[in-house]
Structure 1
Amino acid sequence: MNKIVTLIISLTLITSNYVNAQTHPCLTLTKKGIKEIKANLGKTPLYDKSFAEVKKVVDAEILKEIDVPIPKELAGGYSHEVHRKNYNTMEKAGLLYQITGDEKYAKYVKNILHKYADLYPTLGLHPAKNSYSRGKLFWQCLNDANWLVSVAQAYDCVYDYLGKSDRARIEKDLFVPFVNFLSIETPQFFNRIHNHSTWGCAGVGMIGLVMNNEDFVKRALYGTMDQTITADQHDNDGGLIKHPGQEKAGFLAQIDGLFSPDGLYSEGAYYHRYGAYPFLIFAASLQNTKPELKIFQYRDSLLIKSVYSLLDQTTSTGEFYPLNDAQKGMSIYNSSLISAVDIAYHFGKRDPSLLTIAALQNEVVLDESGMAVAKNIKNKIPLPNKSIIYKDGIDGKGGAIGILRSKSDLNLVFKSGTHGMGHGHFDQMSYSFYKNGKEVVQDYGMARFVNIEQKAGGVYLPENNTFAKQTIAHNTLVINQKTQYGGDSDEADKYSPKLNYYNFSNPEVQYISSRDSNAYQGVFQNRTLVLVDSKEFKNPFVLDVFNVNSETENTYDLPLYFMGHLMSISTKVTIPNQMQKLGKSDGYQHIWKEGDAKANEGNTNFSWLGDGVFYTYITATTGSDSILLGRSGASDPNFNLRRDPMFIVRKKTTGPTTFASVLEAHGSYSPVTEKAINSYSDISAVEVLVSNKDYTIIKLKTKENKNWLVALANQNEEKQHAIKVEGKDLSWNGPFKLLKF
């Protein structure tokens, strides 16, 4: 008898990977959660609204004939879009089945799963050869993983509805080979430290949880690093397949390798938004099925922290700052962010400030996290309009991203962190500037039209590498018309600027400073940005002090990508008779030279009108400096680039030099009244009084002949400082001081 029991136990252990012992649903929905949802349906307006909208879409879709086409096209093409619609509909139909109990939704999921089980064994690699890791249903494994994340949730919801024979057939012909393809057969996709792999791990892990297949779950959590990966192989996005020295893979390694301790995501907010969904949806699934892992407590609750870091990187209109590869216009209203907010609220500390975001989104997901938000939405509290610093790097020592905000809805965004891996841009110590949620000084973002078939199937365009990533495409210093780190992403990933200091305690005068000596060999750079929104001045402004030092002679270009129409410039501009390019490489080949001028001795002023507001840029120049006006779009036969204007200050010098400028927002213009109000700046002059290794002293003069000094300590920032300036004694404590003079 004991031998029989032992044999039964052994067989049970051997087959436990394939015999599901869990109750269903078990991922983002649970039996308890369904009970809670049903009890509150019709009583929670936000949930009810979201439920009605999803139900309307799905009810219309499931009346159509099921279409599971043979994969052919890139993103934006017919087969791609149909398969994408199918997995979205399956996921929602599964949720509706659990909420309503109506079998028509389960029947739809069952029928379409069988269709995919018919198709999948017949497929080889996708015919399009544009990806480093071709999928089967889609042109890249990434989209196959997207499909699996959604379909795992659908399968979980209809698991008990399906018969044993249905499940056996679907798992054998569809899910098992699907998982093996993503994880075992394409390790270059699955074992990366990258948002692609996050999706792969989430899909494999979630279907593993539904099937109670521990092998699949372990692959998801820890990767399959025993599989061969070609070192230093790059993908079509420019990212490394396997980073030098990488020893770990899988979901936990993704959390370890992609976030700083503050929750800042290395690839930038745009890709964080994309990766947030698989990170959080898989974490929620693990919390519901394997609470002993305490996944939401991992690394000091890092996944919850990451949601706050993502939300903080938005304008007052909810759009993300387009740092690194990023499509402009992406916002908190994206479905990934709706899910992220709901999950962070439900599994976090029930922070009522997150409810304010949810109220703006005006939508929740149809699982228990969405119900938790909807039930408590009345408890929302206002969001703080605060400046914030996010330390970068997996150890928090990779510089930082600084976001300075003021009472006039000014946002100054300073990028001084890590490069950002394959999606990073060579734009260290660059800034962008916003007023009322609108771009004033822009970051270009990426050269890509996502899911638009006419633009190369929606993939990255060649100009993303040749222009959008180059240093000249950003508001930071370019030396000798060359890109930082020689345009080498692997080299750039080794370094980051060092944060000198910052202080946001006084909302009227905020500042941040960092330095770098790696982006250009033999050149030291130090940039300090000051955001002033004070009653002491008529208008708010940004002071930019950029110190640079080299023992060799260099040409320095400092571009400003302004958004609006040029009003005036204080020097005579020569317009070329023929269209000319600014250079031959490093992004300069994509810039049309629209004009050049000799800079003024003292100051050169430039003003423009954008979104009904006037802006004036006043920069300290000498008669030997040059001014260039340019516009992107040269060497662009397919019109892949926007035609954006820029203003460039060029200095050619040896030794230390300082760029000092003020960008002032002032006045308004209404096309209705046709009145221009306060169309001229109040600050009339910017002068560098002192610039050496110890101190930089800048003098600001207003039209009312009031003088102000900005004193910066370049070394030993915390000590007491004393210096004589224009015959007067000046003293202050700390790294920075703004005072009347």
Structure 2
Amino acid sequence: MVLKKYVFIISVFILSACKNDKAETIAENTSDKNSSHPSLILTKEGVKDIRAKLGTIPLFDKTLEAVKQEVDAEINAGIEIPIPKDFSGGYTHEQHKKNFLILQKAGVLFQILDDEKYAVYIRDMFMEYAKLYPTLPLHPQERSYARGKLFWQCLNDSNWLVYASQAYDCIYDWLSKEEREHLEKDLFIPFANFISKENPQFFNRVHNHSTWGNVAVGMIALVMDNDDLLNKALYGLKTDSIAADVKDDDGGFIKSKNQKVGFLANLDEPFSPDGYYTEGPYYQRYAMYPFLIFAQALENKKPELKIFEYKDGVLIKAVDALLNLSDKDGDFFPINDAQKGMSYYSRELVTAVDIAYHYGGKNSELLSIAKKQDKVNLDDTGLSIALGIKNNEVKPFTKESITLKDGPNGKQGAISIIRNSNLELVYKYTSQGLSHGHYDKLSFSLYNDGKEVLQDYGLARFVNIEQKGGGNYLKENTTWAKQTIAHNTIIQNETSHFNGKYEIGSKNHSNEYLFNVENKKVQVVSAKEENAYPGTILHRTMLLVNDTTFINHSFVLDLYNVSSNALNKYDLPFYYSGQLMQANFKYQQQSEIKTLGSSNGYQHLFVKALADAPKNNLQFNWLDNNVFYTITSATLPTDKIIFVETGANDPEFNLRRDPGFIIRKNNTKNALFVTAIEPHGTYSPVSEFSVNSYSSIAEIKTILSTKDYSAVSITNINKETKTFILCNTNSNKEAKHTLKINNKDYNWVGPFMYN
């Protein structure tokens, strides 16, 4: 026991001496360089403030403890840096990904807890990477247009450097001058040069990939006070050597010749003045982390840039826009390439909400989102959030009906979300959305109480699941998910919008005709698409109606007007979730397995049943999540009904088996598709009672269809009739209209009337 005691005393003495030596080294380094580290996501004053408040800020303390347990477990497990060889989801990919996440967390723990074991861990891992990196060739997987070294694409290499830069900033003063010089010479500067000047086709773009690359170079530049690298990050490389017809990993074209590039260009171009990101919310969520974390670092290191004021404060607006692009449960609407289930509970949105709150005027509505997320950044911004919640400053984040303009100037279409107490109607009439865009102008999806009713397919990819294509995009993403038939919108002659050509689609966008949500009884959005099919104009108007005349009060009314200079075949699909209950027409199930077509996505649809449409009204009734729904559509006897299911020509079962039905009009020039979508009633599997299982809409009828006006009537089961009239050619709110329809006079002001 005595021996152990002396050993313990000697060990403590040696440890103290080592700490004193290290402290003297830090002091020397600080005095030599007038150091101001940490300065990216943490500041010296911020660390001091956090330490003073530890133990009194519940949400911050809770997050800190969870992160500490996670990092301590990794330290105990030891450092592991494998030779890269795998795609996404593979062992080496996931290990390097885990490493950069843990590095960042260990960095903030070192600063907040002042425990050297975290600095030692970071230094030792960096030293191992500094040994490995100079020996690495390009990644052995050759699929990417810009192969990385640690990962199969430069995008993931950039992820690594964004997070690793934060860790380096946190231990910068703790390291010796010699250690810093070694790491910068053998790891960080070669890493930044590889991402940038050795891969201009990746770095010099307007795309979420390039945002990550720009920010990776910019973050490490700020740590090292390297102005040359910082200028590359902000303004891109000065080169015009990039071929304009090179395709990227997502099938899009790289178009960077004679185009503004760099971080600031990636703020200018993809974001609209409303904060909508043209690739859609899934990739906006992914890109918001580098956008905001670099903005935070720039605000701390280069406040003269006033980055949070750039483009009229677009970064803070973008967080608000992104939160509004989520359903009742916080899941982002799957616009363009998007994995369903991604939500504002992701780590990127924790960062986004905290930064937006801290730098955006401390909007107390954001505290309610942060409270649901139940974690914060371990930095100045997370402290602000935790203090706001502790001080009971929380206000609910209210999602209203909203239109978010697309395009750098807000003139390239938009996306509209119309809401009432339960229903959320998402209407897309945007620009192409860069390489992640889908060919689905004037498409929509519908949600009830946070659940999909009529769905958008999303992407064809199992993200980071190695068994499915190495976790990357599957070929069915191009052959199915991007194609127009995969969405709830019109397809002409079984050909996708813009013929499914990116170079055509990227030059065009839809245009808003009207958006009016002033009267919560009838909220209306309308848009036109004039370029998807040459010689054809598509004009879709959607209403969210709240009318006590109908049993469940709320329903969607959809008027899809098609006018063309030639005879065409028009398909309008509806992809629903749940179980068919009943249809008011006879259909013939197909005993022979066949597909609906041979290309443009039609090859992936099994034909399950066929029918002739009813003379006046089609009704299609189904049950999903114990709620009944009915689609009622005005049809002609010449219309055809096709029951379909996804999954044809899919030998590896990459596609979901989703049901849908299609209303088809053959040999038609001009057509008006009129449809009502009504939730009604419930079913209880416990009591086994069904309530209001039938639609309260008895009939829907087109009573006028001309170039200037479209008019429909909706009659309920009590024989009460409502009329909706739209002026197709004048959306002026002050315009006066007079019409006689079936010997009845209608007078109103504005582009529409509902009565």
Q: Shift of residue 517 of structure 1?
A: 1.1
Q: Shift of residue 508 of structure 1?
A: 2.1
Report the AA paired with residue 659 of structure 1.
F
The answer for unaligned runs of 5 or more in structure 1 is 1-18
| Correspondence for 1:108 | 121
Please state whether the residue corresponding to 1:249 is helix, strand or coil. Answer: coil
* Deviations 1:195-229, CA, capped at 9 Å, x for gaps: 00101111100100000111111110011031621
| Aligned mates of 1:354, 1:251 — CA distance in 2 | 26
* Deviations 1:257-280, CA, capped at 9 Å, x for gaps: 110111100000000000000000
Output aligned runs, 1:588-603, within 5 Å.
Answer: 588-603=602-617
* Deviations 1:422-454, CA, capped at 9 Å, x for gaps: 000001100000000000000000000000000
Please state whether the residue corresponding to 2:129 is helix, strand or coil. Answer: helix
| Correspondence for 1:210 | 223
| Aligned mates of 2:140, 2:695 — CA distance in 1 | 59
Q: Shift of residue 20 of structure 1?
A: 5.7
Output aligned runs, 1:408-487, within 5 Å.
Answer: 409-487=422-500
| Aligned mates of 1:631, 1:225 — CA distance in 2 | 50
Contact 1:28 1:285 in 2 (8 A): yes
Match 2:92 to one of 63, 69, 79:
79
Q: Shift of residue 384 of structure 1?
A: 1.9
Q: Does 2:280 align with 1:268?
A: yes
Contact 1:569 1:607 in 2 (8 A): yes
| Aligned mates of 1:559, 1:436 — CA distance in 2 | 23
| Correspondence for 1:645 | 659
| Correspondence for 2:569 | 555
Output aligned runs, 1:541-552, within 5 Å.
Answer: 541-552=555-566
Output aligned runs, 1:380-399, within 5 Å.
Answer: 380-399=394-413
| Aligned mates of 1:682, 1:659 — CA distance in 2 | 20
Q: Which moved more, 1:369-378 or 1:233-242?
A: 233-242
| Aligned mates of 1:473, 1:735 — CA distance in 2 | 31
Q: Does 2:716 align with 1:702?
A: yes
Q: Shift of residue 654 of structure 1?
A: 3.3
Report the AA paired with residue 49 of structure 1.
K
| Correspondence for 1:289 | 301
Match 1:342 to one of 354, 362, 368:
354
Report the AA paired with residue 751 of structure 2.
P
Match 1:621 to one of 629, 635, 653:
635
Q: Does 2:249 align with 1:233?
A: no
Report the AA paired with residue 705 of structure 2.
S
| Correspondence for 1:318 | 330
Please state whether the residue corresponding to 2:95 is helix, strand or coil. Answer: helix
| Aligned mates of 2:33, 2:638 — CA distance in 1 | 77
| Correspondence for 2:525 | 512
| Aligned mates of 1:516, 1:68 — CA distance in 2 | 52
Match 1:331 to one of 343, 347, 357:
343
| Correspondence for 1:502 | 515
* Deviations 1:427-484, CA, capped at 9 Å, x for gaps: 1100000000000000000000000000011000000000000000000000000000
| Aligned mates of 2:722, 2:667 — CA distance in 1 | 28
| Aligned mates of 2:34, 2:601 — CA distance in 1 | 58
Match 1:686 to one of 700, 704, 726:
700
| Aligned mates of 1:640, 1:597 — CA distance in 2 | 29
| Aligned mates of 2:33, 2:223 — CA distance in 1 | 8
| Aligned mates of 2:77, 2:112 — CA distance in 1 | 22
* Deviations 1:25-81, CA, capped at 9 Å, x for gaps: 010000011011111111110101100100000011101221111101111111111
| Correspondence for 1:721 | 737
Q: Which moved more, 1:489-498 or 1:448-457?
A: 489-498
Q: Does 2:731 align with 1:731?
A: no
Q: Shift of residue 246 of structure 1?
A: 4.0
| Aligned mates of 1:117, 1:28 — CA distance in 2 | 24
Q: Does 2:49 align with 1:36?
A: yes
Contact 2:710 2:726 in 1 (8 A): yes
Report the AA paired with residue 663 of structure 1.
I
Q: Does 2:618 align with 1:604?
A: yes
Contact 1:498 1:515 in 2 (8 A): yes
| Aligned mates of 1:20, 1:170 — CA distance in 2 | 17
Contact 1:522 1:550 in 2 (8 A): yes
Q: Shift of residue 241 of structure 1?
A: 2.0
Please state whether the residue corresponding to 2:588 is helix, strand or coil. Answer: coil
| Correspondence for 2:7 | none
Please state whether the residue corresponding to 1:62 is helix, strand or coil. Answer: helix
Contact 1:20 1:212 in 2 (8 A): no
Contact 1:225 1:249 in 2 (8 A): no
Contact 2:240 2:258 in 1 (8 A): no
| Correspondence for 2:171 | 158
Q: Shift of residue 239 of structure 1?
A: 2.2
| Aligned mates of 2:94, 2:258 — CA distance in 1 | 35
Q: Does 2:98 align with 1:98?
A: no
| Aligned mates of 2:258, 2:523 — CA distance in 1 | 39
Output aligned runs, 1:624-635, within 5 Å.
Answer: 624-635=638-649
Contact 2:205 2:255 in 1 (8 A): yes
| Aligned mates of 1:590, 1:20 — CA distance in 2 | 63
| Aligned mates of 1:346, 1:177 — CA distance in 2 | 34
Please state whether the residue corresponding to 1:583 is helix, strand or coil. Answer: coil
Contact 2:549 2:716 in 1 (8 A): no
Q: Shift of residue 181 of structure 1?
A: 0.4
| Aligned mates of 2:166, 2:249 — CA distance in 1 | 30
| Aligned mates of 1:570, 1:580 — CA distance in 2 | 25
Please state whether the residue corresponding to 1:219 is helix, strand or coil. Answer: helix
Contact 1:358 1:373 in 2 (8 A): yes
TM-score, scaled to structure 1? 0.96
Match 2:583 to one of 569, 575, 584:
569
Q: Which runs of 4+ in 1 moved over 6 A?
A: none
Contact 1:327 1:445 in 2 (8 A): yes
Q: Does 2:537 align with 1:524?
A: yes
Please state whether the residue corresponding to 2:191 is helix, strand or coil. Answer: helix
| Correspondence for 1:3 | none
| Aligned mates of 2:723, 2:153 — CA distance in 1 | 56
Contact 2:549 2:720 in 1 (8 A): no
Give identity over the alignment, percent: 51
Please state whether the residue corresponding to 2:686 is helix, strand or coil. Answer: coil
Please state whether the residue corresponding to 2:673 is helix, strand or coil. Answer: strand
Please state whether the residue corresponding to 1:364 is helix, strand or coil. Answer: coil
| Correspondence for 1:368 | 380
| Aligned mates of 1:690, 1:414 — CA distance in 2 | 25
Report the AA paired with residue 569 of structure 2.
T
Aligned-residue CA RMSD in angstroms?
A: 1.0
| Aligned mates of 2:632, 2:170 — CA distance in 1 | 62
| Aligned mates of 1:258, 1:728 — CA distance in 2 | 49
Q: Shift of residue 497 of structure 1?
A: 1.0
Contact 2:324 2:399 in 1 (8 A): no
Q: Which moved more, 1:567-576 or 1:91-100?
A: 567-576
| Aligned mates of 1:329, 1:255 — CA distance in 2 | 26
| Aligned mates of 1:303, 1:232 — CA distance in 2 | 31
| Aligned mates of 1:717, 1:121 — CA distance in 2 | 63
| Aligned mates of 1:694, 1:714 — CA distance in 2 | 5
Contact 1:20 1:211 in 2 (8 A): no
